[in-house]
Amino acid sequence: MAKHIQILVIGGGTGGIMVSAQLKRKAPELQVAIVEPSDKHKYQPAWTLVGAGNYAMQKTIRKEADFIPDGVEWIQSYAAELQPDTNTVVLGDGNRVTYDYLVLSPGLVMDLDALPGLKESLDKGLVCSNYTDPEHTWEVLRNFKGGNAVFTQPGTPIKCGGAPQKIMYLAEHYFRKKGIRDKTNVVFATPGSVIFGVKEFARPLNKIIHDRDILFKPYYLPVRIDAENQIIYFKYAEPGDNACVITENNKIQESIVGDSEIAMPFDMLHLAPPQAAPEFVRNSPLAFQDGPSKGWVSVDIHSLQHTKYDNVFAVGDVAALPTAKTGAAIRKQAPVVVAHLVTLIKTGKLSTKKYDGYSSCPLVTGYGKMLLAEFKYNNVRDSDPLLSKFFNLTKPSWFMWILKRYVLPYLYWTKMLRGKM
Compute the half-sphere exposure of residue 338: CA atoms within 13 Å on the CB side of its CA: 25
> What parts of the chain have a pLDDT lower than 70?
1, 240-249
Query: Is 128 noted as a catalytic residue in this protein?
Result: no
Helix, strand, coil percentages, rounded to 5, for the chain: 35, 30, 40
The CA-CA-CA angle for residues 109, 112, 117, to 5°, reads: 170
Number of H helices, E strands in the chain: 11, 23
Percent of the chain with pLDDT over 90: 92
- Ordered DSSP codes for 33-85: EEE---SEEE-GGGHHHHHTTSS-GGGGEEEGGGGSPTTEEEE-S-EEEEEGG
pLDDT of residue 246: 60
Q: For the chain, how far is it from start to end, CA to CA, in angstroms?
A: 38
Residues with Cβ within 8 Å of residue 83, at least 6 apart in sequence: 89, 90
Contact predicate 167/130, CB 8 Å: yes
Annotated catalytic residue, options 361, 364, 370, 416 = 361
Buried b (16+ CB within 10 A) or exposed e, 228-257: eebbbbbbbbeeeeeebeeeeeeebebeee
pLDDT of residue 237: 79
Task: Identify the structural domains of the chain with CATH numbers, from first to last.
Answer: 3-108+277-354 (3.50.50.60), 110-274 (3.50.50.60)
Annotated catalytic residue, options 34, 160, 281, 416 = 160
Query: Is 244 noted as a catalytic residue in this protein?
Result: no
What Å distances lie between residue 408 and 44, 57, 353, CA to CA? Answer: 12, 16, 25
Question: DSSP label at 114?
Answer: G
The radius of gyration of the chain from alpha carbons, rounded to an integer in Å, stands at 22
What is the DSSP pairing of strand 32-35 with strand 3-10? Answer: parallel
Q: What is the pLDDT of residues 211-227, one digit of tens each?
A: 999 999 999 999 999 99
pLDDT of residue 238: 76
pLDDT of residue 386: 84
pLDDT of residue 250: 84
Of 328, 225, 212, residue with least CA distance to 271: 225
